Amino acid sequence: MIKKERAIIILKELNKLYPEPPIPLNHKNAYTLLVAVVLSAQSTDKKVNELTKDLFEIADTPSKMVKLGADNIYQYIKQLGLSKQKSKNTYLLSKMIIENFDGKVPDTFENLESLPGVGHKTASVIMSQVFKIPSFPVDTHIHRLSQRWGLTKGENVLQTEKDLKKIFPISEWNKLHLQIIFFGREYCTARGCDGTKCFMCKKLYPNRKKKFITKKA
């Protein structure tokens, strides 16, 4: 089975399971989604949603977040990993949005990636989910599954992103990255599947007997 054939199977199965996948991070607007994605680095979406519930009640715009200040932001998110740096970045990116972008979340990769704490993956999420620009954010779940499913050699997340964009139609990218994330959490988990256990791995590689070793990003 070649990559294109596997891609067809993957799309078919994921569209059946997750026809309209929701954004897993709770948010009120483009700005709060940006903050939530920044906070989610090396943290679970569940924990981020839990902590941002109160934060976004009082600071759901850049100006309100700046008024709150980095020290107070920290008090809301201190249970997250890297919370000191995240609180500082949240304050600084909010200030920069006000000063450089008229208080609005920028709508280009270049401008988004100029914000403190915003890398290519975070920018890709905002471009795809807020501005509907075809993008393919790659997180650890997508990186892992793409290797198990023979879609990439998995040297790094940027290479994985390039490989996936070559294989799947551009019209599917924005929805597909969410579908793969949900599948990776529910069926093909890091410890629960080794490339031979979940139904997708079995369907794509029915003759695979040995445990598949994935490369970390």
Looking at the structure, tell me whether residues 36 and 103 fall in a common domain: yes
Overall number of domains in the chain: 2
Q: Are 187 and 127 in contact, with CB atoms under 8 Å apart?
A: no
Q: Of 86, 121, 163, 175, which is the active-site residue?
A: 121
Catalytic residue chosen out of the listed positions 84, 86, 104, 139: 139
- The token pair at 125 is 């999420």
Q: Which one of 129, 156, 177 terminates a domain?
A: 129
Contacts with 79 (C-beta within 8 Å, 6 or more apart), sequence order: 47, 51
71 part of the active site: no
Query: How does pLDDT run across 39-91, given as a tens digit for each residue?
Result: 999 899 999 999 999 999 999 999 999 999 999 999 999 999 899 999 999 99
Angle at 42 between CA 132 and CA 33, to 5 degrees: 30
At 133-192, the pLDDT tens digits run 999 999 988 999 999 999 999 789 999 999 999 999 999 999 999 999 999 999 999 999
Same domain, 91 and 175: no
Domain identity same for 37 and 113 = yes
Residue with the two structure tokens 């290797």? 147
Cα separation of 46 and 26, whole Å?
A: 9
202 an active-site residue?
Answer: no
Domain ranges, residue 75: 30-129
Question: Is 216 inside a domain boundary?
Answer: no
Q: Is 75 among the domain residues?
A: yes
pTM: 0.92
* Cβ–Cβ < 8 Å for 5, 165: no
